[in-house]
Structure 1
Amino acid sequence: MFSPDELVVYPAQGVGKVERIERQEVGGVTAEFYIVRILTNNVTLMVPVKNAANVGLRPLCSTERANEIMLSLEDRSGFTGYTGQNWNRRYREYSEKLKSPDLGDVAYVLRELLLIGKDKELSFGERRLLEQAMSLLVVELSHVQGLTQEEVRANIEALFQDVLQPRENVE
């Protein structure tokens, strides 16, 4: 059970604040809802209290988990390089991972797209997923680590300094 003013994470939307818990009648049935305002875009969500766990509503990760996430971004052992996999299949896979309540899945998408981007130009959709993953990660980690979003983004970008260098045009 979450409380008003508590920060929570809604998958694919990011960090939000529980503004209140409301009782409403929907379809003749009375139910309780968390009213959650997403911090990055001011969108308000109504999440049924009984269904909150099923949709992935969760508390912010722990400091330990935030540190694990940063370490996982550094680990490139599982990355085999760009394999020419169909970008559409990759896009669907990554979109699903961004909807996961597991922050590790979000970090995975970010790491993979940054590393793929080193070898080839990302499609528009992939760049959008990259930004979404970066935003989801940066906002949550900034709250957990007590850093500004700019500091967290800079820390992540420092891990990928070699990848974020402009590619040479090869003709």
Structure 2
Amino acid sequence: MFKVNELVVYPSQGVGRVERIESQEIGGVKADFYIVRILSNNVTLMVPVANATNVGLRPVCDAEHGHAIFESLNDRSEFTGYTGQNWNRRYREYSEKLKSGDLGDVAYVLKELFLIGKDKELSFGERRLLEQAMGLVSMELAYSVDRDQESIKEDINEMFADVIAAQESSE
């Protein structure tokens, strides 16, 4: 059970704060809801308390896990390079990972898209996924390790400076 003012992560939306817990009757059935305000865009969500785990609502990761995510972003040993995989298949796979709510999955998408961008120009859809992944990862890491989101983005961009430079030189 989450508490009022607790920071939580809602899949594909990012970090939010539980503003209140309220009971409502919907269709003749009384249920308790977390009222969560997403911090990046001020959207308010009503998440049924009984269904919170099923929809992926979870606490913000701890600092130790946050630092591990940073390390995983910097590790390129598992990346085999752009294989020419069907863009639609890759887009669906990455979209599913972003919706999973798992920070490791979202960081994987971020890293893969950055590295694929070194070998080929990213499509509009891929760039959108990259931006979404960057926003989700940087926001959660900012709260996890108690830093500013912009400085987290700067650190991530610095990790991939060689990739960004290669993209800019090919334009």
Structure ranking higher in helix proportion: 2
1:50: Cα distance to partner? Answer: 0.5
Residues 1-171 of structure 1: pairs in structure 2 closer than 5 A: 1-167=1-167, 168-169=169-170
1:169: Cα distance to partner? Answer: 3.7
Q: 2: distance between equivalents of 1:12 and 1:57? A: 11
Q: TM-score, normalised by structure 2?
A: 0.97
Helix, strand or coil at the partner of 1:84: coil
1:113: Cα distance to partner? Answer: 0.1
CA offset digits 1:34-86 (Å, max 9, x no partner): 00000011111000000001111000001010011000001111111111111
Comparing 51-60 and 155-164, the one that deviates more: 155-164
Helix, strand or coil at the partner of 1:33: strand
* Alignment RMSD: 1.1
8 Å CA contact 2:62–2:145 kept in 1: the answer is: no
Superposition misfits of 4+ residues, deviation over 2 angstroms: 166-170
Q: Using the aligned pairs only, state the percent identity.
A: 69
Q: 1: distance between equivalents of 2:55 and 2:101? A: 8
Q: 2: distance between equivalents of 1:132 and 1:53? A: 22
1:101: Cα distance to partner? Answer: 2.3
Q: Return the letter of the residue paired with 1:149.
A: Q
Helix, strand or coil at the partner of 2:22: strand
Q: Return the letter of the residue paired with 1:163.
A: V
Q: 1: distance between equivalents of 2:36 and 2:47? A: 7
Helix, strand or coil at the partner of 2:121: coil
Q: Return the letter of the residue paired with 1:135.
A: G
Q: 2: distance between equivalents of 1:38 and 1:71? A: 27
Q: 1: distance between equivalents of 2:49 and 2:170? A: 53
Helix, strand or coil at the partner of 2:161: coil
Q: Return the letter of the residue paired with 1:59.
A: P
Structure 1's 150 and 7: CA in aligned 2 closer, same or farther, altered over 3 A? same
Count of paired positions: 170
Helix, strand or coil at the partner of 1:30: strand
